[in-house]
Amino acid sequence: MRFTSPPNPQAYYEQVWNLVRQIPRGKVAAYGQIALMLPPPNGVDFESYKAFGPRWVGGAMAACPDDVPWQRVINAQGKISDRPGAERQRQLLEEEGIVFVNDKVYMKKYGWRGPGDEVRQESLF
């Protein structure tokens, strides 16, 4: 089965936006990572969701309201996807203190692991 969009795009987008709003300043997450932090929509099996979820998250980011820090969602290679707005995205991330090396973000340092990540980070010290 091919899913070009989630069964209920608006409901899915709202979930994505609510999650992305939690990514702290100076952190990033990948499209696929965001998708896997959310449950597959009703009627979508996990394998299909794994395949299509990252694209759906991209669609949500393209349509997000102004209060969503869209710039914090990048591709799985740690790069900004090539599209209009890519330069602005990099500029916003650099303003947050994220360093790019060869057009890539070091995900181990700047990657967000989901809600509660800040607590896990603090408990390391």
In tens, the pLDDT along 58-78 reads 999 999 999 999 999 999 999
Strand partners, 111: 28
- Looking at the chain, the number of H-run helices and the number of E-run strands are 6, 4
Coil/strand/helix, residue 48: helix
Percent of the chain with pLDDT over 90: 84
Tell whether the model's pLDDT for residue 125 goes beyond 50. Answer: no
CA 33 to chain centroid, in Å, comes to 7
* Res 121 pLDDT > 70: no
Closest CA to 10 of 41, 54, 45, 50: 41
pLDDT of residue 1: 52
What's the mean per-residue pLDDT of the chain?
A: 92
Write down the pTM of the prediction.
0.90
For residue 121, CA distances in Å to 21, 118, 124 come to 19, 5, 6
Structural domains of the chain ordered from first start: 9-123 (1.10.10.10)
